[in-house]
Each structure stands twice: as structure tokens, then as C-alpha cells.
Amino acid sequence: EVQLLESGGGLVQPGGSLRLSCAASGFSFTNNAMSWVRQAPGKGLQWVSSISGSGVNTFYADSVKGRFMISRDTSKNMVYLQMNSLRVEDTAVYFCAKVPQVRGDPFEYWGQGILVTVSS
Amino acid sequence: DIQMTQSPSSLSASIGDRVTITCRASQRISDYLNWYQQKPGKAPRLLIFAASSLQSGVPSRFSGSGFGTDFTLTISSLQPEDFATYYCQQSYGIPRTFGQGTKVDIK
């Protein structure tokens, strides 16, 4: 059974930092890209970042480029999102998602999400 | 960026109704189009990938079609558990982008 479990969220002041973690299990970790998608309160879904199965290629939304960094540890089956220079508008539930090597590159499985609140 | 526009933004329907949601891309995206269902307080669930492929475990009353810029999600006979918000998403380009969502509620 595929499981994705996010952790590391919480309340942080504007300008602060936070590192989200996603523990993956139940599938071949290196054969899947991984992504972070967020949802601000009452709003729609917004893609944040993706990392290839090898970890070599990373991609970011313009709104987080230069502030967030995605990484993965294949020895631990973990994906991370280091978030720096946080802004109020980064407040959202952050989901970790598995992206298999199939046509369409869908976000196949999602974690339950973790809330990040940026506020003074 | 590729803009995704869903219509309608919301709809009211009855159990057993046939429901159709459309999604239009601002440029041609081949069949790189996925559909998700989200219920309040829950993570999204993949329904359809590559425009028309049914994800494993998803009931066959869900179907997708389209190619290029215009896509459709159809629920052939609406069930109580289908009341939710539906999102389309393109995976043709970076950034990945979603439609604004279509909320399906009970008439």
C-alpha cells in the first residue's frame, strides 16, 4: 500500500524558515518523481515543486523559486521541501505527491497534507 | 504558463444524473491532462490520467475525453459519494497548472 506522510508544518513568522518532510513507503521510490502541491485556505490547488526519481532534476513554481528547495534521500525514502524567506501568501496545506512514469505524469497518490501558517 | 479554465465553476445535480465538466487549455497540450476529485478536508484523488485513462480503483462511471485544448470529465450516473470538487491539471509544461475547480453539490 502506497503511503505518503508529511510532517514539519506549523506556525512561522514572515521571513522565517521551515522544512517539510514526506515519508514514502509501499512503492519503488527511485522509479517515481515526487512533487509538492499546496492549497491556500478555501482556494484551489497550486503546484509548488517537483524532483525527478534520480534527484538530478528539480523544478519550481516562479512564486517559490529562489526561496524553496526540494530534495530527496533515497536511503530513507524521504522527500523534503526547505522553505526560506516565508511570506504570508505561502500559508497553505502542503501535499506531497507521487508521480509515476506513465503518460500524463499525474499526481497519482497524495499525502494527507500538512498545514503551514505564516503569520506574525 | 498554460492556463486551465474549467466550466462550470459549480453545478447542482441529482443522484443518477449525467454530469459533464469541461476544461480548456490556453494552448495545445496533446493528452497531458489529468482529473482529480477532492472532498472537504481531504487530499485530492486521481481519477483520470492522460485525458482518458481510468486510474485503478476508480469506478467506471467516471470517464474522460479530449485532445489538444478541450477536455471533458463525465460522470455517467451521479452517486452520493461523488459530491465533491473536481480539478483538471495539465502536465504538458512547467509550471504544472490546475483549473480553478468545479464544485458539484446536491440539487
For the segment A49-66, the average pLDDT, to the nearest whole number, is 96
- A104/B contact by beta carbon, under 8 A: yes
Within 8 A of A111 by CB-CB distance, chain B residues are: 43
3-state SS assignment for residue B36: strand
pLDDT, residue B46, reads 98
Length, in residues, of chain B: 107
Q: What is the mean pLDDT of chain A?
A: 96
pLDDT digits (tens, 9 = 90+) for B42-100: 999 999 999 999 999 999 999 999 999 999 999 999 999 999 999 999 999 999 999 99
Residue B80 sits at φ, ψ, to 5 deg, of -55, -35
pLDDT, residue B40, reads 96
Percent of chain A with pLDDT over 70: 100
- How far apart CA B102 and CA A7 sit, in angstroms, is 29
Of A47, A107, A112, the CB nearest to B97: A47
For the segment A30-59, the average pLDDT, to the nearest whole number, is 96
For the segment A92-111, the average pLDDT, to the nearest whole number, is 94
Strands (E), chain A: 3-7, 10-12, 18-25, 33-39, 45-51, 58-60, 68-73, 78-83, 92-99, 109-110, 114-118
- How far apart CA B50 and CA B66 sit, in angstroms, is 10
Instruction: Tell me whether residue B34 is exposed, middle or buried, using C-beta atoms within 10 angstroms of its C-beta: 0 to 12, 13 to 18, 19 or more.
Output: buried
pLDDT, residue A109, reads 97
Pairs of residues, one from chain A and one from chain B, whose beta carbons lie less than 8 Å apart? 68
pLDDT, residue A95, reads 98
Has residue A103 got a pLDDT over 90?
no
Close Cβ partners of A42 (under 8 Å, ≥ 6 residues apart): none
Has residue A111 got a pLDDT over 90?
yes
Has residue B36 got a pLDDT over 90?
yes
- How far apart CA A4 and CA B46 sit, in angstroms, is 15
pLDDT, residue A104, reads 85
**B36 vs A104: CB contact, 8 Å cut-off?**
no
pLDDT, residue A101, reads 87
For the segment A96-113, the average pLDDT, to the nearest whole number, is 94
3-state SS assignment for residue B81: helix
Q: How far is B21 from chain A (nearest CA, A)?
A: 16
Top-confidence residue, A104 or B45: B45
